[in-house]
Structure 1
Amino acid sequence: MILIYTHKVTPRVRYIFKHVFTRILLIDIDFTSKVEEFVAYNGPKMSYTKLPLGKEFFIRSHDLLFQQGVNDVEIKIEKWKGVSCFFSAGEKSVIPYDIFGASFYLITRYEEYLPHIKDVHERFMATESLAFKHKFLEKPVVDIWAYRLLEELKKKYPDYEYKKRFYNYISTIDVDNAYCYKHKGIVRTIAGFLKDTSQFKIFNMWDRFAVRFNIKKDPFNTFDKILRFKKELDVRTIFFFLIGDYTTFDTNVSASKTKFRLLIKEMVDYARVGLHPSYYSMKDATIIKKEKERLEGITNMPMKRSRQHYLRFSLPETYQKLIDLEIEEDYSMGYASHVGFRASTCTPFYFYDLDFEIQTPLKIFPFALMDTTLNDYMKLTPKQSLGKIRDLKNEVRRVNGTFITLFHNESLSNYLRWKGWGRVYGSMLKIVRS
C-alpha cells in the first residue's frame, strides 16, 4: 500500500487517485491529512500538496481537486518526454506536472460542462475538445501519465511489489437496423419500393423483392457471422439493440415483430445484450424507462448496460437519468466524427458528477473507434481503416488497457455503403487479438 498525504482529502482527490493508482496501476492506497501519521509511516508514501514535507515522493498540487463546481481553468499545454501535459508543477515536484488534476479534468469531461458549440445532433464536438486541438485525441494520455508515474515510483521504491494488469478487448455491436428489408411492415416496404423506383435503383428493387419473398437472405442479417467470430476467437461481444418507437432517426424493425424478438432472445443465449436508447431519449428519462422495460420484457432479465443512439448524451443530465434507472454500465463515451479517446483514457472508470461532487455507481466504458467514423466521416478505405485500428490498438496495448470497438451488424454485410467492408470486422479481430 502507498500512503497519500494531502492537506485536504476531497471527493475529487479520492476519486482520481483511486482511478490512477487502483484501476490503472493496481496499487492499493490510503489517504491521510495528518502530518504526524504521514511522517511516522514506514512504507511507500507520497505527498500531494503545495510544498513537500521532507524528502518524500512529492507532486505539487494544482487547485482543481480542491475546488467545487465548474470554473474557467487556465490550461497551457506543454510536452513531457514527448507526451502532451498541463498544470505545471515546478521543479520540486518529482513529476513536473500535476497529472492528477489534469487526469480529473479529462476524465470527468470538465470541458463539456463549460459553454461550447454543439453539432446538428446537439452533441459535444470532437473539434471543441482540448485533446483534438492539441493533437492528443488518439492517445490515452491518462494511462500514459500513470505509467510514467509508475516508472518514478519504482525508482523511489524498488522493493515494493508491483502488480501488472493485462490488455483486453471488447467488441460492441450496435443494432440500429437488424434487417435491411425484412420484417419492416407493408407501409414501409411499399414506401421503400416507391423510393427505389423514383431513384432508378434497379438492383435495390430486386434485392428488396428477393428478400421479401425469401429468395435471398437479408443482407444486414450478419449475426451468425458475428457469433462465429465470437466463438472461434473467444471475443467478449456485446449487442446493443435499438427498440424505440419509429422516428426519422430510429428506423429499426418494430419490437412487436416476433422474428426481431426471437433474434434478441437468441443473442442473449450467446452474448451479452444491452439497451440502445433511441435518438430522443437524451433528455427524456420516460423514453429510456419505456425502452428499458420493453427490452427486459423480451429478454426476461434486468438490463444493466446501455449506449445512446447517435452517441447523443449531455453531461451530466443523461448519465443522471441512467443512474436513476439503475443502469450500471454505459458505452457511449466516444465521438462519431473522430476516432480516439474522448475521456483520454482506455480504462473503464466511474462517472464523477460535477453537479453533486460525487463518484456515481455508473461505470463508463470508453470506446476508441466506430465503423461509421472510419467509413462515413473519415472516408477511409477498408485497408486504411485497418491501419488506423492497428495504431489505436497499439496505443492501448502499450498501457495494458481495454480496447473497445463499435461496429454495426450492417457493416459486415458488404452491401450498399458498406461495399468492400465485408471482411473488415474479421480482419480487425485478428489484429486486436494479436
Structure 2
Amino acid sequence: MDISEFIAHSGPKFSYSKKALGNEIHVRSHELLFEQGINDISINMSSWKEVPCFFMNNPKGLMPFDLFAASFYLISRYEEYLPYVQDSNERFPATESFAFKKGFLQKPLVDIWTFQFKEILENKFPDFSFKEREFEIISTIDVDNVFAYKHKGFVRNLGGFFKDFFTLKIGRLIERTLVLLRLRNDPFDTFDEIISLSKSKRIKTIFFFLIGDYTTYDTNVSSSNNAYRSLIKSMADYVEVGLHPSYYTMKNSDKLKKEKKRLEQIVNQPIQKSRQHYLRVKLPETYQNLIDLDVVEDYSMGYAKEMGFRASTCTPFYFYDLDFEIQTPLKIFPFAIMDAALNDYQGHVPTVAAVKIQEIKNEVEKVNGTFITLFHNESLSENERWKDWKKVYESIFD
C-alpha cells in the first residue's frame, strides 16, 4: 500500500513514524528502535493520565509518547547491557534499575500503557474488537533444601548438632534429634501440602529442583540420594517440574548442561523450564546458554531483594537478544514477589507481607496479567523465621 492509498483508507489504520500521514492513530517514533548497537540513552520522565512514561515526543497527540520504544527499552532489559554496579552475588540489583530510581518498580508499566493504547483504539475505531485476556496466577516453588535434617549425611548432621549446642539453639537440636529418630516429620517436607493446595485452588504450580553438586551456595541433598530422586519423580506426576541451575551455572554452560541432563534422567522426560539459583542472570550469556540447551521457559526475571516487575511487565514475553538483534525462542515468565525478599531483606512480618503481596496482585488484576509468585518449600514449614508464613502463601489464592 502506498501513501495515497493509506490516506484514502477509511477503516482502522495506524502509523509509526516521525509524522502523521492522515486521519490515523499515530505514534511518533523515537530513534531507539532504528538504532544498531547499544548506547547510553538519556531518558527524561514524564506523566500521562497520571501514569509515568518516557520518550515523550508528541504532547498534543492521542498517544503523546513512544510506548513501543519505551516498552522495548524496559522489556529487553536494555539497561542491563550497560555498565552497572553489581551486588555481592554478581547480579544486577534492583537499586540500579531505572524503574526503582523513578518509583515505578511495583507497576506493570508496559501493561498499563498497552491498556491505555487499547482505549485509544477503541475510541477511534469502535467497531474494532479486541480479544480479552484473563488474570492468571502461577505459583512457583524453589527447592533449595529439600530437607532440613534428613538425608544430610553423618558429617553434616554431626556438625549441625555441635553448632546448635554451642549456639544454644536447643529447640533446633531437639527438633533435629526427633526428625533423625523418625519421631517427627522433617519441617521442610511441605510438598504434600503444596500439592493439596494446588489441587483444591486449581493453581498452576511449578517446582524448580536444585540438583547441583555441593558448594558453599548449593547445600541441598545430593542428587544421587534415593529419597530425593523419588520425591522429584513423585512431584513430576502431579505438577510441572523445572531445573534450578546451581550458583555457578550463570557463567558455566558445561555445568548447566550437566545438571539439566541429571534432572532429565531422574524424571525421564525433557526439561524445558528453568530458574537460576540466587537469581543469578547475566544478560545475554545466561539466556544464550539456556537456549543452546533447548530450554524454552525461564522464570528468573525478578529481583532478590525487592518486590515488583524487573521488566516492567506481568506478561510473559520472548527474550530479545540485543547482541544479535533477534527475538529468541526463550519465553521469559517474570515473577513479582518472593518470600525471601519480603521476609529477609525487607523485614516484613507475615501480616504486613500479605498486604504487600495483595497490593502487587491487585496491580496485575487491573491489567488481566499473569501473577507469578516465588516461594520455597521451607517457607511453608512454620519453622523458626518462617513462623506464620504458610498463611501468607495460602492468602495469595483467596
TM-score (norm 2): 0.98
**1:264 is aligned to 2:232:** yes
Residue number in structure 2 paired with 1:358: 326
**1:146 is aligned to 2:114:** yes
Within 5 Å, give how 1:85-164 maps onto structure 2. 85-164=53-132
- Taking the aligned partners of 1:426 and 1:140, their CA distance within structure 2 comes to 23
Q: Give per-residue Cα distances to partners, 1:101-152, cap 9 Å, x unaligned.
A: 0000000000011111110000001011111011100000000000000111
Residue number in structure 1 paired with 2:26: 58
Q: Which amino acid is 2:42 matched to?
A: E
**1:174 is aligned to 2:162:** no
Q: Retained in 1: the 8 A contact 2:7–2:23?
A: no
1:171 CA drift (Å): 0.3
**1:204 is aligned to 2:200:** no
**1:235 is aligned to 2:200:** no
Q: Give per-residue Cα distances to partners, 1:62-92, cap 9 Å, x unaligned.
A: 0000111110111001111111100012245
Within 5 Å, give how 1:6-405 maps onto structure 2. 34-36=2-4, 38-39=6-7, 41-405=9-373
Residue number in structure 2 paired with 1:22: none
Q: CA RMSD in A?
A: 1.1
Decide whether aligned partners of structure 1 residues 50 and 225 sit closer, same or farther in structure 2, where only a CA change above 3 A counts: same
- Taking the aligned partners of 1:416 and 1:257, their CA distance within structure 2 comes to 26
- Structure 1: tracts of 5 or more residues without a match: 1-31
Q: Which amino acid is 2:345 matched to?
A: Y
Q: Which amino acid is 2:225 matched to?
A: K
Aligned to 2:256, the other structure's residue is in SS state helix
Q: Give per-residue Cα distances to partners, 1:13-60, cap 9 Å, x unaligned.
A: xxxxxxxxxxxxxxxxxxx7x535634655311000001112211110
Q: Retained in 2: the 8 A contact 1:305–1:330?
A: yes
Residue number in structure 2 paired with 1:29: none
- Taking the aligned partners of 1:72 and 1:188, their CA distance within structure 2 comes to 49
- Taking the aligned partners of 2:384 and 2:339, their CA distance within structure 1 comes to 14
Q: Which amino acid is 1:167 matched to?
A: F
Q: Retained in 1: the 8 A contact 2:208–2:242?
A: yes
1:206 CA drift (Å): 1.1
Q: Retained in 2: the 8 A contact 1:59–1:89?
A: no
- Taking the aligned partners of 1:310 and 1:110, their CA distance within structure 2 comes to 21
Q: Retained in 1: the 8 A contact 2:251–2:286?
A: yes
Q: Which amino acid is 2:293 matched to?
A: L
Residue number in structure 1 paired with 2:386: 418
Q: Which amino acid is 1:174 matched to?
A: D
- Taking the aligned partners of 2:10 and 2:253, their CA distance within structure 1 comes to 51
- Taking the aligned partners of 2:10 and 2:292, their CA distance within structure 1 comes to 44
- Taking the aligned partners of 1:37 and 1:318, their CA distance within structure 2 comes to 46
1:276 CA drift (Å): 0.1
Aligned to 1:137, the other structure's residue is in SS state coil
Decide whether aligned partners of structure 1 residues 36 and 289 sit closer, same or farther in structure 2, where only a CA change above 3 A counts: farther
Count of equivalent residues: 398
- Structure 2: tracts of 5 or more residues without a match: none
1:194 CA drift (Å): 1.6
Q: Which amino acid is 2:316 matched to?
A: P
TM-score (norm 1): 0.90
- Taking the aligned partners of 1:315 and 1:382, their CA distance within structure 2 comes to 34
Aligned-pair identity in percent equals 60
Residue number in structure 2 paired with 1:19: none
Q: Which amino acid is 2:160 matched to?
A: G
Q: Which amino acid is 2:88 matched to?
A: V
Q: Give per-residue Cα distances to partners, 1:274-298, cap 9 Å, x unaligned.
A: 0000000000001110000000000
- Taking the aligned partners of 2:61 and 2:37, their CA distance within structure 1 comes to 27
- Taking the aligned partners of 2:181 and 2:8, their CA distance within structure 1 comes to 80
